[in-house]
Amino acid sequence: MDQFPHPDPSRRAALRGVAAAAAAGGIASLLPAAVSAAAAANPVQPVAFERPASVPGVQPFKAAIPQAALDDLKLRLSMTRWPDQELVPDWSQGLPLARLQALADHWQHHYDWRQAEAKLNAFPQFITRIDGLDIHFLHVRSKHPNALPIVLTHGWPGSVFEFIKSIGPLVDPTAHGGKAEDAFHVVIPSLPGYGFSGKPTSTGWGLPHIARAWATLMRRLGYKKWVAQGGDWGAGVTTWLAKQHADGLAAIHLNLPILFPPPIEGEPDKEEQATIAQLVAFDGSKSGYAKLQGTRPQTIGYALADSPVAQAAWIYEKLGEWTDSHHQPESVLTLDDMLDNISLYWLTDSGASSARLYAESFTTDFATQKLDLPVAVSLFPGELYHPPRKWAERVYAKLYYWNEAARGGHFAAFEQPTLFTAELRRAFATVR
């Protein structure tokens, strides 16, 4: 890739020029021929579902990024100025240069965002306004009449793309190795400031507010009994839904139980000491992203808004460290899977707005909460920490399901959709 050591006004002029040409339809020659080939080789598979009826205050939505934005992305990738290579043979100084260069090369020359749009647009999507903010969500109803409504909430640096491969098995279990009684009606919102949801223009959209908005959404969709699931920020939202006793909420499922600070009683035993050591190590050497986003989201936002490679690095590092892959995320996710998610952040300019959730809630609301609604937990081996069941029993008065999966990490649904789906079927079988 070309090197541009001085991003001077000529670079900005070039970007303006390519945007103008794209608007006139003159940039097609910049797009790789592999784009159309990839589209033909990877058709989107149809999913059986019932299209939701019209709901007042809910408008249909389809993803359609302007071509000029895609052409601008290709140009910016071609003009990346790279730093020197890291001085260590591992990830201890951050994401290795060669790994990111390979990802950026695929993004520039082979990746096709239109295929990502097709994945999203294969499902019913909507926008609804709650407390003055537009909330984007997928709403996929099952053909099975007794399906259980569920709201699935993503985290950072995730998006609704995390759940795409689970939608079919959840809504149409008879076509995916399950039974009719396993069926769910699925609602997947984009967090405020993420993806196609609106960006808050004032403070106050922390986890408790988001949870209230999700309760409003499920009520607006007409669901009187429903369940909720989440990991990462999604676990925080889901926990607050239970804390607030959201109307109609029957049970929750977490793949990241929020048990920090640890609910220790007396002298910690060896199992507890091991988990405490994981939390201390994470805080000491792996939480820089959270402290930066929690204290200076605007400052990091400039880099994330201006450089697609910066945005890719910010997310790809976490995919490498937090998947159950030993820093080989390509072993559990395809490059296109990862770039679907990264591209959504870039194309919606969500770097700063997503980071602000850390300033809103990371040191206040994202913490141990005592719950008295039914709680199910699935632990995945590649998760950031592994709490003992006794901690969950101390704060979840109605813990009724606890299981440790064979594979998977922090992005459980993204990495292991089959195992994730199986966990939800088992966890909610008794609350239908």
Whole-number mean pLDDT of the chain? 91
List the alpha helices (DSSP H) in 323-371. 335-347, 351-361
Per-residue confidence (pLDDT) for residue 322, from 0 to 100 = 98
Q: Which of 256, 272, 315, 332 is nearest to 103 (CA)?
A: 315
Per-residue confidence (pLDDT) for residue 47, from 0 to 100 = 62
What are residue 10's phi and psi, to 5 degrees? -65, -35
* CATH class of the domain at 51-81+91-431: alpha beta
To the question of pTM greater than 0.85 for the whole model, the response is: yes
Burial group, residue 294, by CB count within 10 angstroms (0-12, 13-18, 19+): buried
List the alpha helices (DSSP H) in 197-253. 207-220, 233-243
For 16, 18, 70, 358, the CA distances from 28, given in Å and listed in that order, are 16, 11, 11, 39
- Per residue in 237-288, pLDDT (tens digit) is 999 999 999 999 999 999 999 999 999 999 999 999 999 999 999 999 999 9
Per-residue confidence (pLDDT) for residue 43, from 0 to 100 = 43
Cα–Cα distance between 348 and 193 in angstroms, integer? 9
Average pLDDT over residues 101-128: 98
Burial group, residue 16, by CB count within 10 angstroms (0-12, 13-18, 19+): exposed
Cα–Cα distance between 170 and 167 in angstroms, integer? 5
Per-residue confidence (pLDDT) for residue 94, from 0 to 100 = 96
State the SS3 of 293-327. HHHCHHHHHHHHHHCHHHHHHHHHHHHHHHCCCCC
Chain centre to alpha carbon of residue 23 = 31
Residue 45 predicted with pLDDT over 60: no
Per-residue confidence (pLDDT) for residue 54, from 0 to 100 = 83
Q: Which of 384, 10, 368, 349 is nearest to 198 (CA)?
A: 349
List active site positions. Answer: 232, 358, 410
Per-residue confidence (pLDDT) for residue 50, from 0 to 100 = 80
Residue 107 predicted with pLDDT over 90: yes
List the alpha helices (DSSP H) in 42-96. 67-78
Q: Which of 238, 306, 257, 263 is nearest to 72 (CA)?
A: 306
Cα–Cα distance between 142 and 173 in angstroms, integer? 9
Token pair of 288, please? 């820089």
Cα–Cα distance between 220 and 239 in angstroms, integer? 21
Per-residue confidence (pLDDT) for residue 49, from 0 to 100 = 78
- Cα 212-191-139 angle, rounded to 5 deg: 85
Ranges of each domain in the chain:
51-81+91-431
Per-residue confidence (pLDDT) for residue 52, from 0 to 100 = 87
3-state helix, strand, coil in the chain (%, to 5): 45, 15, 40
Helices 113-121 and 335-347: angle between axes, nearest 10 degrees: 90
End-to-end Cα separation, the chain, in angstroms: 55
Cα–Cα distance between 47 and 44 in angstroms, integer? 9
Decide: 218 and 248 in contact? Cβ < 8 Å. Answer: yes
- Per residue in 178-201, pLDDT (tens digit) is 999 999 999 999 999 999 999 999
More confident of the two residues 383 and 39: 383
Number of H helices and number of E strands within the chain? 17, 9
Cα–Cα distance between 389 and 112 in angstroms, integer? 43
More confident of the two residues 159 and 3: 159
